[in-house]
Structure 1
Amino acid sequence: MFKTMRWVGLSVGLVVGVAGTGFALAQSKTPIKIGVIGPTKTLVGKQGVQGATLAAEMINKTGGVLGGRPVELIVYDTNFAPADGVAVVQRLLTQDNVKIVTGEVSSSVSLAVIPVVQAEDAIYIATVPKHPDVTNSGYDKVFRLNSTTAMDATAFNQFLTGNVKPQKVAVLAENSDFGRLTIDNLKQLFGPKLVFAETYGMQQNDFNSMVTNTRASGADLVCIAGSNMEQYGNILRALSDLNFAGRRCVMPGILNSEGIKIAGKSADGAVSADIYVPSLDGDMNRTFVQAFEAKYGNKPEKIELLGFESIWLAAKAMDMAGSATDVAKIAAAIRQGPWETPRGKLVFEANGQAKSGDLIRLEVRNGSMEPIRN
């Protein structure tokens, strides 16, 4: 029913220092399996898997973990569907004997799989989901790497009200926990200025009617909240085709170069914000960016970073805990931190939420995401 992709003892060359004896040792010992879930048939899902794969390669190239054991990724597609997510996580935990599950894009999928992870006393490291409830379940072995909608709002709402200053606002959001929460947040922010709000299905591909109604609403700002870049790219294109004259906002943490490519020139002028750009200073980020470019031919962005961090963190925490199976010790190690990652030092709050740095405000100019300096 589900397609499985496996990487065992990966050996593609990287721009990192490699100890040959450590690599050989890692290939000769029993692999440590880490589960990776996400909508792998989509662009955003593939990006997360790319980051996770690179982390496994780098770890294995330098001798693995726990005295030379390689990391093996077991990757399953969730298809943006909670039922599929529950099924594959059950398979990872009960058939593949995985102790740590990482990944996912959809908050709805993440919220659905947490009870399954808790029932099996495993660890879940959520990468992309932004709904605050992902780290509010009360289960002490859930962690999240991305910022939440509430964290983003602290900085981005001020930008929208103080810099963009719209008179009428429309919001187009995916029909998910994240999308519905975004609508509620913007209602609180803009009050009666929010003149139009509509959701779209996660598998929807025709947006003409929704965009026509948006244009008719008289909004001078439309905000898009959707994790699937194929969808928001086509929404931006549809807005341009129907001559929408207002400004466009892609909610924080979503804008991606692949979505910009789909939108084409229609993306120019769109504003957003995020927690990572590949130009961040730091030795580890330079190593990460160089290794990613060497393997995939392009610079990594936030999704690839989070996929990388999830595997890097899981493996290093196992090393610190001295065990691949004692989930209590591994979870305690994750909380101990701080962890050096490409975006800097990563620490976790008591509920498992990663503390992120300042949100970087972005604007699309000539097909490229550029920081907004003022």
Structure 2
Amino acid sequence: MIILKRHLTALTFGAILAVAGQANAADPVKLGLINPIKTLIGKQNVEGAQLAVEMLNQDGGILGGRKIELVTYDTNFSPPEGVAAIQRLLTQDKVKVIAGEISSSVALAAIPVVEGEDAIFMAAVPKHPDVTKSGYDKVFRMNTTTAQDAKSFDTFLLETIKPEKVAILAENSDFGQVTIKHMKELFGNKLAYSDTFGMQQNDFAAMSTNARSSGADTICIVGSNMEQYGNILRVLSDLGFKGHRCLMPGILNSEGVKIAGAAAEQAFSADIYVPAIDNAFNKRFVEAFQKKFGRKPEKIEVLGFETVWIAAKAMDKAGTADDTAKIAKTIHEGKWETPRGEVTFDKNGQASSGELLRLSVKSGEIVVDR
């Protein structure tokens, strides 16, 4: 009787463990998402991430059927708010991977916090080179850096546009400051004027007037917030500026064009993605995005999508949602299919997918210049 009772107890305990194991296996995998969600660009990045979750879950989830769940916080383009959001995700929500973000300043402030918890950071949009130079091997960046952009775009500016004088209006962020420094090195005494604007600023009359009065025939704008650069284009048009309008690579977006209206016509830029890219994955992505959100996706949405898609696929391939070393190693070593094509990462976690596409605004549409 005692032997039988012990046997039944062992069976019961084993059954409890089995049920618990099944419950754990069925639990969703939580991914953290940070963005300035009150802005157009932040909302676009979030929408890309949301679609990635939807498509992954439609395809059966990861790790034997576990669904993906996003936990999202607002950073408000503010490093202190970004750090607070990441601390909540890591300590309160217990996530192992954090995706998203627009601001280089927020990303740079976030990295030490992520490293302190041995987590993974899939940065979507931040362009400052230092984002992938911390030495921490679990930071990845989907967007191009200002240095990558320069390899192609500098040649275009110097050999095709051939400006006599240049003015630059840049957001007061790490991205803006590093771009001003680069433009000074590129153009030397041809840089007639430079100024910065705050991330919450909405009056650009004085700096636009100064840029026009400098004699510049080309004015370049550095601003991740499309509400801001769209309004700068409008002010320049109202002032009667007739020269070239350059939006530095990676920021031209149809929502910014809508804000600028006719003032965006013939403005030029460059980027890594347009919705017309011809591959099966992109066709599926564009169709799904249009169905869900009622418009075509652009680069910002793709970068948000990629941060979640690649992180989840890497978890699945590594066979774990918790071992960040295995997940990071899998990301580093993999070749990842995304809507823009094949994406790989260098030893620092910087993504690469080919040459920039030259873009301009014609009849209110962003087109690829052949």
Q: Shorter-chain TM-score: which interval?
A: over 0.9
Contact 2:127 2:143 survives alignment (8 Å): yes
Contact 2:245 2:268 survives alignment (8 Å): yes
Deviations 1:84-112 (A, max 9, x none): 00000000000000000001000000000
Deviations 1:7-26 (A, max 9, x none): xxxxxxxxxxxxxxxxxx99
Contact 1:37 1:78 survives alignment (8 Å): yes
Match of 1:198 among 183, 195, 200: 195
1:55 is aligned to 52
Moved over 3 A (4+): none
Give, in whole Å, the separation in 1 of the partners of 2:348 and 2:330. 14
Deviations 1:233-282 (A, max 9, x none): 00000000111121100000000000000000000010100000111111
- What residue identity is the alignment partner of 2:231? N
Give, in whole Å, the separation in 2 of the partners of 1:331 and 1:289. 28
Match of 1:290 among 262, 287, 290: 287
* Residues 24-103 of structure 1 mapped to structure 2, 5 A cutoff: 29-103=26-100
Shift, 1:201, TM fit: 0.3
2:124 is aligned to 127
Residues 1:153 and 2:170 are matched in the alignment: no
* Structure 2: segments with no counterpart, 5+ residues: 1-21
Aligned identity (percent) is 64
2:353 is aligned to 356
1:264 is aligned to 261
2:306 is aligned to 309
Give, in whole Å, the separation in 2 of the partners of 1:186 and 1:200. 17
Contact 1:41 1:79 survives alignment (8 Å): yes
* Residues 179-190 of structure 1 mapped to structure 2, 5 A cutoff: 179-190=176-187
The TM-score with structure 1 as length reference comes to: 0.92
Contact 2:124 2:143 survives alignment (8 Å): yes
* Structure 1: segments with no counterpart, 5+ residues: 1-24
1:7 is aligned to none
Give SS of 2:134's match. Answer: coil
Give, in whole Å, the separation in 2 of the partners of 1:162 and 1:138. 36
Contact 1:66 1:323 survives alignment (8 Å): yes
Contact 1:147 1:356 survives alignment (8 Å): no
1:165 is aligned to 162
Report the number of matched residues: 348
Give, in whole Å, the separation in 1 of the partners of 2:49 and 2:260. 27
Give SS of 2:245's match. Answer: strand
Give SS of 2:352's match. Answer: coil
* Residues 96-111 of structure 1 mapped to structure 2, 5 A cutoff: 96-111=93-108
Contact 2:37 2:75 survives alignment (8 Å): yes
Which deviates more from structure 2 when the two are superposed, residues 130-139 or residues 333-342? 333-342
Give, in whole Å, the separation in 1 of the partners of 2:188 and 2:330. 44
Cα-Cα RMSD: 1.1
Shift, 1:368, TM fit: 0.6
Give, in whole Å, the separation in 1 of the partners of 2:353 and 2:239. 38
Q: Which is greater in Rg?
A: 2
Give, in whole Å, the separation in 2 of the partners of 1:151 and 1:69. 37
Contact 2:35 2:74 survives alignment (8 Å): yes
Residues 1:330 and 2:313 are matched in the alignment: no
Contact 2:341 2:353 survives alignment (8 Å): no
2:208 is aligned to 211
- What residue identity is the alignment partner of 1:149? T
* Residues 11-30 of structure 1 mapped to structure 2, 5 A cutoff: 29-30=26-27
- What residue identity is the alignment partner of 1:62? D
